[in-house]
Structures are given as C-alpha cells and as structure tokens.
Amino acid sequence: MRQKGEGYGFIVPAALVLLFVTIYPLVYVFWLSLHRKHLIFQISRFSGLENYLFLLQDERFLRALWNTIYFTVVSVGLELTLGLLFALVLQGAFATRGVVRALVLLPWALPTVVSARMWEWMYNTDFGIINYLLGVDVNWLGSPFWALNAAIVMDVWKTTPFVALILMAGLQVIPRELYQSAMVDGAGSLYIFLRITLPMLKPVILVALLFRTIDAFRVFDAIYVLTGGGPANTTETLSIYAYKVLFQTLQFGYGSAIAMVVFLCVGFISVFYVRLLSR
C-alpha cells in the first residue's frame, strides 16, 4: 500500500502538468468554438453549434479539408512505398552501407522550414534547377494544379527517411531462421517478401503510418513556406485555414471550431490505428 502511495506521488505532478498544458487549452478552445467571437468588431456572444453548422456551408473549409485529405493520402502512401524500398535496400550488406544510411537520413534531419525554403528555390520558374534539369518552363508553385503536388514531393523527400528508419528497425528483429527455412524449402524472393517480411512488419508499418498520417494531416509549415496556401487558396490545408482565421482575421470563435475539427480528425485517426495495432 505504501508503494502504491509513492507511485501516485510520482504520477500526480505529471498529471497536473498534462492537465494545464493539454486538457485546459483543449476545453477552452472548445468553449471558444461555441461563441461568435470577433475582436475587430468587438463581438463576443454565445452561439452554440452555429460555427460548426457554418463549416458545412463554407466552401473554403471544404476545399481545405479536401486538400488536407489529398495531401495526407498521397504523401503517406508514397512515403510508405519508398520507405519500405529504401529499408530493404539498406538492410542488405554492402561496403558503404553506413555512409549511405547517413546520407538517406539527412533530409529528415533538416528543419522543415529550411527544407521548404530550399525546395522553393528549386521550384523557381526562372532560376530553379528542376525546370533546368527537366527542360521545361513550369510555374510549379503558381499553378493551382501543380502547387499542392509540388508540396507533396517536398514532404515525401523530407519524411521518407523517417519511415525507412522505422521499417529498418522492424526488419532487424525478424528472425533470420525464417528466411533460411524458406530458402531451404525453395521459396523465391517474392514469396519470402509477401509471406514472411510483410506479415512480420505489419505492427511496425502501422506505427509508421500512425505517426506519418497524424503529422501529414496537421501539415502547416511546409506548405505555408512554399505557397502560403496559394495560389487562390488552392493549397490551403485545415491548419493553414485555422491559422488565417484565428490570427489574421481574429475570428476566434470560428477559428477555434476549425481547430476542433482538426483535433477530432487526428483523434479519429489515432483511435483507428491503435485499434488495428491491438488486433
């Protein structure tokens, strides 16, 4: 009983910090989302679910939601595919494996803002190296079609090493005896990959997907540096839209409602992956 009391003594300080750092702001943001609060016009009144009902009619919000979903699905899908490929290659034994692993991880080590600024220069219509190498004259960040896809390419370049690192760790713990037994039985490389490697990697793949999906759904800095949500809001995500509503137009009530939608979506994604992991 005494040990149990000592355990509570260690937990309570952490719980109090969590309460004030996480739970209180969350409750306060939800309370704000139930108000029509506009600092410019000195408006502050309780409006119930009015902000949430307006979200369903707000074309800009629906476009931001679609952009966020598109960005998340495409970028995470590419990162998982490329990350698995790199993990399998780097798992092999070759002379410069340590150097290659360090080089592969370099994009992930760079701050996102630095990476985004670097890619912004590479995408430059007049002086960018991408147009020079491809021999084209494409306005990558000024075109409504290309801008979001250009941001996806930048995000895939930066975060694929993170996925590869997690998958490499998963490959390390797969018993070598399974591969040896399969080869003795005459199994080919594709059969071994589909029947041994992928099933054994499933928990690790789900962990990688959990982290990357949540991070991609909340994307802000990469797109904000590259396009600022433009051109004409065609690359605006939920996080960028919430930021603009909250801090540029000072609509704290409606901006809080958008932030709550982001939180609920991230929570749903987390629960979904955790349930898959538990199975």
Exposure of 203 in the CB half-sphere (CA atoms within 13 A): 9
**Position 15, amino acid:** A
* pLDDT (tens place) for every residue of the chain, 279 residues total: 555 566 677 788 887 887 788 888 888 989 999 988 887 778 888 888 999 999 999 999 999 999 999 999 999 999 999 999 988 888 876 677 777 777 888 888 888 899 999 999 999 988 889 999 988 888 999 888 899 999 999 999 999 999 998 999 888 888 888 878 888 877 788 888 888 888 888 889 998 999 999 999 999 989 999 998 888 889 999 999 999 998 888 899 999 999 999 999 999 998 888 888 777
pTM: 0.89
- 8 Å CB contact between 94 and 174: no
Instruction: Tell me the two tokens of residue 277.
Output: 């992991």
CATH of the domain at 115: 1.10.3720.10
**Looking at the domain assignment, is residue 11 inside a domain?**
no
- The whole-angstrom separation of Cα 168 and Cα 104 is 12
Instruction: Tell me the two tokens of residue 84.
Output: 């698995």
SS3 call for 217: helix
**Looking at the domain assignment, is residue 172 inside a domain?**
yes
**Looking at the domain assignment, is residue 75 inside a domain?**
yes
38, β-bridge pairs: 43, 251
Burial of 149 (0-12, 13-18, 19+ CB in 10 A): middle
Res 180: pLDDT: 80
**Looking at the domain assignment, is residue 233 inside a domain?**
yes
- The whole-angstrom separation of Cα 226 and Cα 278 is 38
Residue 184's domain comprises 58-248
**Looking at the domain assignment, is residue 227 inside a domain?**
yes
**Looking at the domain assignment, is residue 208 inside a domain?**
yes
**Looking at the domain assignment, is residue 28 inside a domain?**
no
User: What is the number of structural domains in the chain?
Assistant: 1
